[in-house]
């Protein structure tokens, strides 16, 4: 039961964003459902996991579609709470944020924002093109029992629907707007893949006193200083264009041999070269790092912060894969993206449809599409908060998690915090004791008692 008490201590601060107590209690119910459900079949999974009465299915659907809780406000409060309760990893004295996108397969022909998406992946289990939703997410990198975790802060659906033909915002620009919505006051380092190595993200980071670490770019040498009297016109800014890959073999600069700072590697020596060159999108110097790894091959990173060393840049980007693991857990363990919200009055989409333009539709139709998109964002945001709750319990109370796990794993590594799967099983096993006990969470337990159907709650019947 102690796990649930600490779970409640993390959930209780979310009360401030709810319009009334009933909205808060349904939010707690949705979070509890994400944390304990054994299957990922939509809202019905929450009803089965908590043993709720059949009427709660429609109530939960209404809650996800209700404007009582705004996704942006929810993510802002959760970000503040996560930065307080976790131990964020810092690079050069700054927070480290991880950003990336994920494509979720959706075959619904009456689901707004479903479009044909291209997957640039080397994985042979993924088709090149899918129909689905494109989501961008942000996580904060935290230290966790000698390891690292990417704690999700929020995710939004940023592609597939346009309400105005004047809306020319790109995905990187929407990515920056999403990060601003979290209300992070202190400077941070954003680590993202090559897709976000663009002017929009780099200039946005610099105007806020932050930094961007990414890979691949086109650079120039600084323009040589003119000799003799100055000519008319603007002085040259760029010198000779440099092909970055050629410097692996043609550079005359001294290379350094250092112990690999990559997470999880020991006894590996790599070669690196650090140079400050002009990056044309920013018209300023950017620090580039060439890395020649004995087994992983060659790669080029860059940082807009010239105070970061080559080791910091390499070690920082090496931890970017933590957000990929976070996406995997959110998709396969919690089901944050397993929503099945259809729009009855929507016009059927073709099998290979692209972006849906709404500026010729009626205002009523546009409002219905906005309501459905907000339901998707709300479902994703609540699912990601539930993942953060499981991560907090796993990092802070690993012994209690393992003692309540009640199952078997082939390998349990000492010193490594439990996964979201193990923590969810521990919460599921201790749920009956939480509901039977009297504590400060009586408002939530009483709400669940009023909505539980004993005929559908076998674990609760066994507990009496």
How much is the average pLDDT of 143-167? 91
Judge residue 130's burial from the number of C-beta atoms within 10 Å of its C-beta, 0-12 exposed, 13-18 middle, 19 or more buried: middle
What is the Cα gyration radius of the chain? Answer: 25
Nearest 5°: CA angle at 65, between 61 and 70? 130
86 neighbors 395 (Cβ within 8 angstroms): yes
Residue 119's pLDDT band (boundaries 50, 70, 90)? Answer: confident
Which range, of 57-71, 238-252, 378-392, 429-443, averages the lowest pLDDT? Answer: 238-252
10 neighbors 81 (Cβ within 8 angstroms): yes
Kindly give, in sequence order, each residue whose CB lies less than 8 Å from that of residue 309, ignoring residues fewer than 6 positions away.
274
**Res 118: pLDDT:** 86
Q: Is the pLDDT of residue 39 over 80?
A: yes
* DSSP notation for 324-370: HHHHHHIIIII-TT------TTSPPPPTT--PEE-TTS-HHHHHHHH
State both tokens at 289: 């790092």
How much is the average pLDDT of 25-54? 94
Q: Is the pLDDT of residue 459 over 60?
A: no
**Res 352: pLDDT:** 80
382 neighbors 37 (Cβ within 8 angstroms): no
295 neighbors 277 (Cβ within 8 angstroms): no
Q: What is the C-alpha separation between 46 and 59, in angstroms, rounded?
A: 12
State both tokens at 261: 């700072």
**Res 233: pLDDT:** 65
Residue 430 in 3-state DSSP? Answer: helix
Mean per-residue pLDDT over the chain, rounded: 89
263 neighbors 315 (Cβ within 8 angstroms): yes
Q: What number of other Cβ atoms are within 10 A of residue 228's Cβ? A: 5
How much is the average pLDDT of 231-259? 73
Q: How far is CA 359 from the centre of its chain?
A: 30
Q: How far is CA 426 from the centre of its chain?
A: 24
Higher pLDDT, 226 or 411: 411
Q: What is the C-alpha separation between 171 and 212, in angstroms, rounded?
A: 16
Q: Is the pLDDT of residue 227 over 90?
A: no
Q: What residues are paired with 222 via a beta bridge?
A: 238
State both tokens at 453: 């159907």
Which of 104, 89, 81 lies closest to 31, judged by CA?
81
Q: Is the pLDDT of residue 126 over 80?
A: no
**Res 433: pLDDT:** 86
Eight-class DSSP state of 301: E
pLDDT tens, residue by residue, 67-97: 999 999 999 999 999 999 999 999 999 999 9
Kindly give, in sequence order, each residue whose CB lies less than 8 Å from that of residue 141, ignoring residues fewer than 6 positions away.
88, 89, 96, 97, 98, 148, 149, 150, 151, 191, 319, 322
302 neighbors 247 (Cβ within 8 angstroms): no
Q: Is the pLDDT of residue 264 over 70?
A: yes
* DSSP notation for 277-299: EEETTTTEEEEEEEEEETTTEEE
Q: Is the pLDDT of residue 415 over 80?
A: no
Q: What is the C-alpha separation between 425 and 406, in angstroms, rounded?
A: 8
Which range, of 79-88, 178-187, 230-239, 297-306, averages the lowest pLDDT? Answer: 230-239
Label the pairing between strands 188-191 and 94-105: parallel
Residue 262 in 3-state DSSP? Answer: coil
**Res 360: pLDDT:** 86
State both tokens at 366: 């546009």
Longest distance between any two alpha carbons in the chain, whole Å: 94
300 neighbors 289 (Cβ within 8 angstroms): yes
How much is the average pLDDT of 115-142? 86
Residue 236's pLDDT band (boundaries 50, 70, 90)? Answer: low
Higher pLDDT, 391 or 122: 391
Q: Is the pLDDT of residue 133 over 70?
A: yes
pLDDT tens, residue by residue, 166-224: 888 999 999 999 999 999 999 999 999 989 988 899 999 999 999 999 987 555 556 66
Q: Is the pLDDT of residue 315 over 90?
A: yes
**Res 434: pLDDT:** 87
Q: How far is CA 42 from the centre of its chain?
A: 20
**Res 220: pLDDT:** 58
Which of 17, 169, 204, 13 lies closest to 99, judged by CA?
204
**Res 67: pLDDT:** 93
Q: What number of other Cβ atoms are within 10 A of residue 142's Cβ? A: 24
Residue 435's pLDDT band (boundaries 50, 70, 90)? Answer: confident
Percent of the chain with pLDDT over 90: 66
**Res 281: pLDDT:** 76
What is the C-alpha end-to-end distance of the chain, expressed in Å?
A: 16
Between the alpha carbon of residue 105 and those of residues 64, 102, 327, 344, the distances in Å are 20, 10, 14, 20
> At which residue do the structure tokens 């009523």 appear?
364
pTM: 0.91
Which range, of 28-32, 350-354, 454-458, averages the lowest pLDDT? Answer: 454-458
Kindly give, in sequence order, each residue whose CB lies less than 8 Å from that of residue 394, ignoring residues fewer than 6 positions away.
144, 401, 417, 418, 419, 420, 422, 423
**Res 137: pLDDT:** 97
């Amino acid at each position: 039961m102690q796990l649930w008490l600490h779970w409640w201590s993390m959930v209780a601060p979310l009360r401030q964003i709810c319009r009334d107590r009933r909205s808060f209690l349904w939010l707690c119910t949705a979070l509890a459902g994400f944390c304990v459900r054994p299957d990922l079949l939509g809202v019905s999974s929450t009803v089965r996991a908590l043993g709720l009465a059949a009427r709660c299915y429609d109530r939960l659907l209404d809650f996800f579609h209700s404007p009582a809780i705004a996704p942006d406000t929810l993510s802002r409060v959760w970000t503040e709470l996560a930065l307080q309760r976790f131990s964020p990893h810092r690079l050069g004295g700054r927070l480290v944020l991880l950003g990336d996108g994920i494509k979720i397969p959706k075959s619904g022909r009456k689901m707004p924002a479903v479009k044909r998406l291209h997957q640039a992946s080397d994985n042979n289990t993924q088709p090149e093109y899918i129909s689905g939703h494109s989501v961008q997410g942000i996580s904060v990198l935290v230290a966790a029992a000698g390891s690292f975790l990417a704690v999700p802060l929020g995710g939004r659906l940023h592609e597939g629907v346009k309400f105005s033909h004047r809306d020319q915002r790109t995905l990187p620009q929407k990515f920056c707007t999403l990060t601003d919505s979290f209300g992070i006051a202190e400077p941070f380092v954003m680590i993202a893949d090559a897709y976000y190595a663009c002017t929009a993200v780099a200039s946005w980071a610099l105007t806020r006193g932050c930094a961007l670490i990414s890979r691949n770019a086109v650079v120039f040498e600084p323009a040589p200083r003119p000799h003799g009297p100055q000519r008319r016109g603007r002085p040259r800014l760029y010198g000779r264009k440099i092909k970055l890959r050629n410097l692996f073999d043609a550079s005359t600069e001294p290379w350094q041999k250092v112990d690999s700072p990559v997470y999880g590697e020991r006894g590996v020596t790599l070669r690196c070269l650090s140079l400050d060159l002009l990056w044309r999108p920013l018209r300023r110097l950017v620090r580039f790092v060439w890395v020649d790894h004995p087994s992983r091959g060659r790669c080029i990173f860059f940082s807009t912060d010239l105070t970061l060393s080559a080791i910091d840049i390499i070690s920082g980007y090496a931890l970017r894969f933590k957000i990929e693991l976070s996406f995997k857990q959110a998709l396969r363990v919690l089901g944050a993206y397993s929503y099945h919200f259809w729009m009855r009055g929507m016009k059927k989409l073709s099998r290979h449809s692209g972006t849906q333009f709404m500026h010729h539709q009626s205002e009523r139709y546009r409002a219905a599409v906005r309501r459905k998109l907000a339901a998707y964002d709300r479902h994703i945001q609540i699912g990601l908060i539930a993942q953060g709750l499981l991560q907090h319990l796993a990092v802070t109370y690993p012994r209690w998690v393992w003692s309540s796990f009640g199952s078997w794993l082939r390998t349990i590594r000492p010193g490594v915090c439990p996964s979201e799967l193990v923590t969810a099983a521990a919460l599921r096993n201790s749920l009956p004791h939480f509901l039977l006990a009297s504590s400060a969470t009586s408002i939530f337990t009483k709400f669940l008692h009023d909505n539980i159907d004993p005929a559908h709650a076998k674990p609760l019947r066994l507990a009496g």
